[in-house]
Amino acid sequence: QAVRSLFKALMLREKYSKLAYHRFCRTTSQFLRSAENLIWNIEDEVLPDMLPCPAVGEDPYSMNNIPENLNYELKMRNGIVCVYEDGEALKNDQPTDLPYPDLETYAIDLSELLTMIADGPTKTYCHRRLNFLSSKFHLHEILNETAELKELKSIPHRDFYNVRKVDTHIHAAACMPQKHLLTFIQERYKTDKDRVVLEKDGQEMTLQQVFHSLSMDAYDLTVDSLDVHAGRQTFHRFDKFNSKYNPMGASELREIFLKTDNYLNGEYFARIIKEVASDLEESKYQYAEPRLSIYGRSTDEWNSLAKWFIQQKLHSPNMRWMIQVPRIYDIFKAKNLVTNFAKVLENIFLPLFKATVNPQTHKELFVFLKYISGFDSVDDETKHSNHMFSYRSPKPEQWTTRDNPPYSYYIFYMYGNIMVLNNLRKERGLNTFQFRPHCGEAGSITHLVSAFLTADNISHGLNLKKSPALQYLYYLAQIPIAMSPLSNNSLFLEYSKNPLREFLHKGLCVSLSTDDPMQFHYTKEPLMEEYAIAAQLWKLSTCDVCEIARNSVLQSGLSHQEKKYFLGVNYLKDGHEGNDIRRTNVAQIRMAYRHETLCNELSFIADAVKSEAMISH
């Protein structure tokens, strides 16, 4: 029974993943087919389109070669953007032949999963398997530690310092360490103090006037007075943490230095990000996936962000961009900026569909989207929602109360729109997007269930600690998890209690990321600091940290070409075949161990399902 449930859960995830061009672990897929007595076929595999961009020699911001308009009609229906061939089709409500998700199916799938992970025998089974995985790895370590090390020593020219590492979870507005931000502000003050940088209450203000109004001399500024670093005060206080985004507690400085859409057209913010990018490029082996915000407050946000990106020339070979959408409908509603939840979704997604069907009329956004690899959903997960999500929940157009929709509701509508959009874009040969929400940092376990269906991969995942069944499912499906133990340490969970090490041992696909260097890190190399602390504290071996680095590349939105180069040409194959040790510095012994172990776990499920089917025949 337990195994049957797990099988069903994996089948569900596979369905959702394929629909959205999300990745689904090949080995897992092969075992699912074998359980169904079907032949797995490589052609059935769905892969995201993360196109290498720009092409060699191409101007990254070029607006040539933009495809023709299709002149389709677009309309949001039940919170999902629908695509129509023409006005006629729109009138008859006959959308084009794309898969459209519906809330009812999702609600039912979700509730089925929720029942399953709460089932006693299933929990016991998963708990025992996880314990087994843990002990097995411990044994592997004792027996093969030296052999792994020997393998790594024999590989020329590759070590932990020159394997590729991707900072899989980092917010653009906090991507620079505090000292960097401080120096940047002071430099700007030195050169630009008489420049008008802000318009406040209709009054133009120079940088000097701004500092004057805050009764502060920029030269005297210190990281103490800047006060952007998290500390003991922020533990379990997400609100206090959020206010740390305001240098000196002054929203003016955030507006001037950390916003894209301000009096300076985001010039300062762009400059400091480019400084961070150039540090990454210099390091050569470090990459980052910074998040930029789209709020859904107004229809114009995308154009403005795209303009900023292109005008400020923000592309860097060592950065891939993500869009984060904060879950703050309730704030907009309270301010009367939107009438219902559908309006927020429309503001977020309609422009993307427009730029996809009619790129000629949305050139900047069209170009910008080439550099976006996915979407993130962000906010404090402990925030309580009064609404109990079910298939009877109101549709977004009917969501007019001041209450914020619950996490699972948000997640569904983000997934749904991304899914339709990806199908549309795939048809046009454009890059697709991954949905990579913050999930399981805190709050209800339901979050992790919704992401199990809808996400390509997640950030945090701490709460998997609390549900053996879900943890085991995340293992079986090899869902990548970007973990940030230093961030957790300041916000939700002490370092020593962080499950990263345990997850890694069991074989979950975990990577390391910084989240917010401005708030958490001390050195000039935040990602290395994150790795160093994990390695020191948990006594990770070189093979361990290189495995984490490899996972980070796998999880990232880097293109197929880049992954081939960084991991080995066969990286899509699982196990040691897919690993080029000369690129990854992960021992083949480790790769073989991981693969065999996963196959072993999956075979229990496949065999049980098969034999059950035989009996019932």
How far apart are the C-alpha atoms of 132 and 597, rounded to whole Å? 10
Please identify, using beta-carbon distances, which residue of 331 and 533 lies nearer to a second copy.
533
CB of 252 to a second copy, least distance (A): 17
Residues 60-119 that bind a second copy (CB under 8 A): none
Q: How many CA atoms lie within 13 A of 61 on its CB side?
A: 12
CB of 467 to a second copy, least distance (A): 27
By the rule CB under 8 A, 239 interacts with a second copy: no
How far apart are the C-alpha atoms of 410 and 412, rounded to whole Å? 6
From residue 435, alpha-carbon distances to 49, 150, 422 in Å are: 13, 39, 11
Residues 187-206 that bind a second copy (CB under 8 A): none
CB of 489 to a second copy, least distance (A): 6
Among 353, 356, 369, smallest CA distance to 315 is for 369
Of 86-94, 260-268, 342-350, 535-543, the window that binds a second copy (rule: CB under 8 A) is: 535-543
Question: Is the distance from CB of 423 to CB of 352 less than 8 angstroms?
Answer: no
By the rule CB under 8 A, 504 interacts with a second copy: no
Among 365, 452, 471, 359, smallest CA distance to 408 is for 452
By the rule CB under 8 A, 491 interacts with a second copy: no
460 is catalytic: yes
By the rule CB under 8 A, 282 interacts with a second copy: no
Please identify, using beta-carbon distances, which residue of 104 and 217 lies nearer to a second copy.
217
How far apart are the C-alpha atoms of 299 and 362, rounded to whole Å? 13
Pairing mode, strands 321-326 and 372-378: parallel
Pairing mode, strands 481-483 and 510-512: parallel
Among 542, 536, 455, 551, smallest CA distance to 503 is for 551
CB of 242 to a second copy, least distance (A): 19
Of 344-352, 411-419, 488-496, 558-566, the window that binds a second copy (rule: CB under 8 A) is: 488-496
CB of 266 to a second copy, least distance (A): 27
- Residue of the chain from 250, 535, 592, 608 that contacts a second copy (CB under 8 A): 535
By the rule CB under 8 A, 489 interacts with a second copy: yes
By the rule CB under 8 A, 392 interacts with a second copy: no
By the rule CB under 8 A, 391 interacts with a second copy: no
Q: Indicate the Cα dihedral angle 247, 249, 254, 258, nearest 10°.
A: 40
CB of 310 to a second copy, least distance (A): 34
By the rule CB under 8 A, 529 interacts with a second copy: yes
Query: CA triplet 408, 415, 277: central angle to 5 degrees?
Result: 110
Q: Which H/E stretch holds residue 439?
A: strand 438-439
Please identify, using beta-carbon distances, which residue of 78 and 183 lies nearer to a second copy.
183
- Residue of the chain from 541, 564, 565, 608 that contacts a second copy (CB under 8 A): 541
> Which conformational region is residue 584 in: left (phi greater than 0), alpha (psi within -120 to 50 degrees), or beta?
alpha
By the rule CB under 8 A, 220 interacts with a second copy: yes
Of 45-53, 237-245, 437-445, 537-545, the window that binds a second copy (rule: CB under 8 A) is: 537-545
- List residues bridging with 75 in a β-sheet: 82
Q: Which H/E stretch holds residue 273?
A: helix 267-283
Burial 4-41 (b: 16+ CB within 10 A, else e): ebbbebbebbbebbbbbbbbbbbbbbbbbbbbeeeeee
Q: Count CB-CB contacts under 10 A for residue 187.
A: 13
CB of 114 to a second copy, least distance (A): 36
- Residue of the chain from 49, 119, 227, 427 that contacts a second copy (CB under 8 A): 227
Alpha helices, DSSP H only, in 428-513?
A: 446-454, 468-476, 485-491, 500-506
From residue 536, alpha-carbon distances to 223, 412, 460 in Å are: 27, 39, 21
Of 303-311, 381-389, 515-523, 570-578, the window that binds a second copy (rule: CB under 8 A) is: 515-523
- List residues bridging with 435 in a β-sheet: 375
From residue 559, alpha-carbon distances to 48, 287, 456, 474, 556 in Å are: 9, 13, 15, 24, 9
Among 476, 466, 542, 486, smallest CA distance to 509 is for 476
- Residue of the chain from 1, 62, 71, 222 that contacts a second copy (CB under 8 A): 222
Please identify, using beta-carbon distances, which residue of 227 and 427 lies nearer to a second copy.
227
Of 24-32, 73-81, 440-448, 531-539, the window that binds a second copy (rule: CB under 8 A) is: 531-539
> Which conformational region is residue 615 in: left (phi greater than 0), alpha (psi within -120 to 50 degrees), or beta?
alpha
Q: Count CB-CB contacts under 10 A for residue 275.
A: 14
CB of 580 to a second copy, least distance (A): 15
Of 290-298, 375-383, 462-470, 533-541, the window that binds a second copy (rule: CB under 8 A) is: 533-541
CB of 237 to a second copy, least distance (A): 14
By the rule CB under 8 A, 217 interacts with a second copy: yes
By the rule CB under 8 A, 495 interacts with a second copy: yes
Which of the following is catalytic: 171, 315, 447, 460? 460
Residues 140-179 that bind a second copy (CB under 8 A): 145, 149, 152-162, 179
- List residues bridging with 550 in a β-sheet: none
How far apart are the C-alpha atoms of 365 and 302, rounded to whole Å? 7
CB of 163 to a second copy, least distance (A): 10
Of 11-19, 219-227, 297-305, 567-575, the window that binds a second copy (rule: CB under 8 A) is: 219-227
- Residue of the chain from 486, 558, 581, 586 that contacts a second copy (CB under 8 A): 486
Residues 362-381 that bind a second copy (CB under 8 A): none
By the rule CB under 8 A, 225 interacts with a second copy: yes
- Residue of the chain from 532, 561, 569, 611 that contacts a second copy (CB under 8 A): 532
Among 175, 186, 352, 198, smallest CA distance to 270 is for 175
By the rule CB under 8 A, 524 interacts with a second copy: yes
- H/E/C letters for each residue in 173-240? HHCCCHHHHHHHHHHHHHHHCCCEEEEECCEEEEHHHHHHHCCCCHHHCCHHHHCCCCCHHHCCCHHH
Of 11-19, 57-65, 217-225, 320-328, the window that binds a second copy (rule: CB under 8 A) is: 217-225
CB of 57 to a second copy, least distance (A): 30
Q: Give contact residues for a second copy (rule: CB under 8 A).
A: 145, 149, 152-162, 179, 217, 219-225, 227, 231-232, 235, 486, 489, 495-496, 520-525, 528-529, 531-533, 535-537, 539, 541-542, 585
Which residues carry out catalysis?
460
